[in-house]
Structure 1
Amino acid sequence: MTKKLWFQVGVGILLAILIIKYFMEISFIFAPVIIIIKAIILPLLLGGVLYYMTEPIQRFLEDRNIPRWGSILFILVGLVVVLGIFISIIGPQVTKQVNNLVDNAPTLARDFDVIKDKLLRQKEDLPENLQKSIDSAADSLQTIAVNFSKWIVQFLQSFFQAIFLLVLVPFFFIFMLKDHEKFAPLIYNFFSGERRDWVKKTLSDIDNVLRSYIQGQFLISAILAALIFIGYLILGLQYALLLAIFALFMNLVPFIGPWIAVAPALIIAYMDSPKLVIGVAIVTLVAQQIDSNLITPNVMGKSLDIHPLTVITIILAAGNIAGFVGIIVGVPVYAVGKVIVRNIYEQRRKIKHAATKNVSG
């Protein structure tokens, strides 16, 4: 029985639970280490994202015999130039729309209360069962809104706390560009034989998954934000640029991000003209269909192969565990874990097949 896979998995889960339990009981011993990890985790993540976003440029340059230092310098100068152009072009428009939004905030709040009261009055004319369904849906939406607000606050707190540590981002970024080929050998060189080959393959698969996810998700978000911005401009929707920028960041959250991004656009459209809501809904639907049928299949392909229901479950669980940061990193962490588990399964099957072949031979 001890050789059965289900028994070994069960024992492994029990051991993991015991390790976590006893670790939590003596966690105060590791408090300094946890503080250090929390201090560097955000700069490390941002440096890693920048690396995966610019690695294709570095590879392109070095394939044309440009030295490593030259490719790094080109990327750094290019990032500064792009950021400067972006700020000079987008900055004034964003500032103008933010000021308009702040000035109109009291009016928007009053309009929103009027809409809410109107909907509540109309609800009383509906059948009792439908009223209960609406109340239940409203409670669910309120819970989601409260949790999302908490996630946003946690994210902003972490962000402002990390502002002082952002000087580490260029350090991690440059270090990754300079020595990224050395990271994997530092790990798999501790092993030998077939185990070394397995660790090497697993690290390579993890690298490919992270590269595909980060590059693909940012590209998809940028394309969707551009489509939404163009659509909102055609409709004449207020704060089109702000809403598109909000959509750019929300689209980084897989599956549910685009639906979160459209919520403020629908509210602003309804306060301006109820007919405009139909236009915003059409723009969103067209953008989502283009994304689902053209952009995502060609950008992501089958690199992740995660079912949408699994994505929703991961996002909800990660949000409850680690807040807004958990929502962002939940899917790639799951993808990495899936790669590791799949490689373990393939290795076990390979060993079992070899053992069976030797016995039959």
Structure 2
Amino acid sequence: MVNQKQSWFYKWIINNKFISVLSGALLLLLIIFMLDKVHFIFKPLSELFGAVGAPVIIAGVFYYLLNPLVDKLQFKYHVKRWITITVEFVILTGLVVWGLAVAIPALSEQVNQFLKHWPQYWSNLNTVADDVLHDPRVEPIQDWLVQQNDNIAKYLQKLTSGYASGAVGSVTGLVGHISGFFITLVTFPFILFYLLKDGHDLPFYMAKFFPKATQKSFIHVLGEINQQVANYIRGQLIVAFAVAVMFSIGYAVIGLPFGWVIGIAAGFLNLIPFLGSFLAMIPAIVVALFISPWMLVKVLIIFMIEQTLEGKVISPKVLGDNLKIHPVTVIVVLLSAGNIFGIMGVIFGIPGYAVAKVLISHFYTWWQSNSEFFSPEERDQIRSERQLKMDESAIEIDGIKNPEVTDK
């Protein structure tokens, strides 16, 4: 009788897919509710991340840029890691000194000239907008356009006044930001050095805290996450550099004033996927409108050429399909992360989504291989496919296959 009751309970409750999904959803909602109630517990962690987050993130970006060369020279040509790292640091220091002595002063002069003439450009844009608003051909929608123009002007005025009042009332905060900047500038090279020197051993060290049966899976997941983040950071930085070069050269060819400034800004803004290049077009269009309609046409031609080269040649070659994220998903992630976390969410939303995708994918595979919802044959097949993937990866983490080979 007991066996029959257990069998009935197992069949209709434990082994019921709907009940399992519902229980999982309720458990997830309960966890979110409880975390919201005890959010103050995580405040020290938030403050800690605010203190060390910037130098760690900057060091991580440089790590993904420099580490492939360190690994290649170590494992292919048997060059000690510390020698390669030292040479890279010397080269970086030379580039920084050159930038401070030559590039930054020249760029700063262009930025100052651009900011000096910006009110005049903006006034000219308003004149063009007024001419359009009073054109008889747009009379049917004239009231709507005037209203939208007024709304935009009020919003910009409110935004500017808000920033101005905030700046006046936050002198202490400004001092804190300046000191934080210098602390980051001093500490991130040390973090970067030790990441390059010992970072490839970190996953294997972390795996020691897990049971031996799960260490291989843990390292495999970390390796896949590492590869996703590395592909994204390296790819985005290379594409952003290419975009800055293309826009700068294009604007220089057509004679657009402040072309170098606008081109470099386009490179930085291109770190925002899909939207960056379009945002960078705003100052170029404003400056072109101030000069002549023909200059506007030339700016648009440069933009179309850049978009064609970036979309058809550079991005597919550099980024490829490594992240395997649909463009619609990218836009949804950008909008959601930007609304929740601001500009940091826009920049880090895509790699964060890629990491979450890897974790969820591996968790789902583990659940499939252990769930009674699948037949023993299906579970065995899932386990064998998962094992095959781990064997093919050779527990590889960014080129490191053997944790015992550590030629420092």
For residues 90-129 of structure 1, the aligned pairs below 5 Å read 90-122=103-135, 125-128=138-141
Residue of structure 2 aligned with 1:319, choices 319, 332, 338 = 338
Deviations along 1:61-114, whole A, 9 cap, x unmatched?
223221121121111111111222334442232122122123323322322321
Partner deviation per Cα, 1:212-237 (whole Å, 9 max, x = no partner):
00000000111111111111001100
Residue identity in the other structure for 2:293? P
Counterparts of 1:259 and 1:181 in 2: how far apart (Å)?
Answer: 38
Tell me how far apart the structure 2 counterparts of residues 139 and 4 of structure 1 sit (CA, whole Å): 55
Unmatched tracts of structure 1, length 5 or more = none
Instruction: Determine if the alignment matches structure 1 residue 60 to structure 2 residue 80.
Output: no
**In structure 1, C-alpha distance between the alignment counterparts of 2:20 and 2:154, rounded to whole Å:** 43
Which residue of structure 1 aligns with residue 181 of structure 2? 163
CA contact (8 A) 2:235 2:319 kept: yes
Distance 1:148 1:159 in 2: 20
Q: How does 1:57-206 map to 2 (within 5 A)?
A: 57-62=69-74, 63-122=76-135, 125-128=138-141, 132=144, 160=178, 162-166=180-184, 167-192=186-211, 195-206=214-225
Query: In structure 1, the residue corresponding to 2:29 is in which secondary structure?
Result: helix
Q: Deviations over 1:230-287 (max 9, x none)?
A: 1100110011111011011101111111111111111111111121111111111111
Alpha-carbon contact 1:225-1:244 (below 8 Å) kept: yes
SS in 2 for 1:305: coil
Moved more, 204-213 or 99-108: 99-108
Tell me the secondary structure at the aligned position of residue 342 of structure 2: helix
Q: Does 1:310 align with 2:322?
A: no
1:259–1:135 Cα change, 3 Å: farther
Structure 2 vs 1, CA of residues 288 and 144 (structure 1 numbering), >3 Å: closer, same or farther? Answer: farther
**Mapped contact 1:184–1:203 kept (Cα < 8 A):** yes
Counterpart amino acid of residue 78 in structure 1 = I
* More divergent stretch after superposition (311-320 vs 158-167): 158-167
C-alpha distance in 1, partners of 2:354/2:294?
Answer: 42
Name the structure 2 match of 1:275.
294
Q: Return the alpha-carbon distance in structure 1 between the equivalents of residues 136 and 180 of structure 2.
A: 46
Counterpart of 2:37? 25
Preserved CA contact (<8 Å) 1:304 1:335 = yes
Q: Distance in 2 between matches of 1:359 and 1:215?
A: 37
The separation in 2 between residues aligned to 1:47 and 1:333, in whole angstroms, is 17
- The one-letter code sitting in structure 2 at the alignment partner of 1:104 is H
Kindly name which structure, 1 or 2, has the bigger radius of gyration based on alpha carbons.
2
Do the aligned partners of 1:318 and 1:327 also contact (CA within 8 Å) in 2? yes
Distance 1:333 1:150 in 2: 31
Gaps (5+ residues) in structure 2? 1-12, 168-172, 381-408
Classify 1:161/1:271 alpha carbon distance in 2 versus 1 (closer, same or farther; 3 Å). Answer: farther
Distance 1:59 1:136, change over 3 A: same
Q: TM-score, normalised by structure 1?
A: 0.86
The 1:184/1:277 distance shift into structure 2, 3 A limit, reads: same
Alpha-carbon distance change, 64 to 5 in structure 1, aligned in 2, over 3 angstroms: farther
Q: Percent identical across equivalent pairs?
A: 27
> Which one is further off, 200-209 or 81-90?
81-90
1:209–1:304 contact (8 Å) kept in structure 2: yes
Normalized against structure 2, the TM-score is what?
A: 0.77
* Count of residue pairs the alignment pairs up: 357
Question: Which residue identity lines up with residue 50 of structure 2 in the other structure?
Answer: K
1:254 to 256, 270, 273: 273
Q: Give the AA of the match of 1:60.
A: K
User: Higher mean Cα deviation, 328-337 or 22-31?
Assistant: 22-31
Maintained 8 Å contact 2:369/2:379: no
**One-letter code aligned to 2:108:** T
Q: 1:173 to 1:126 in 2, by over 3 A?
A: same
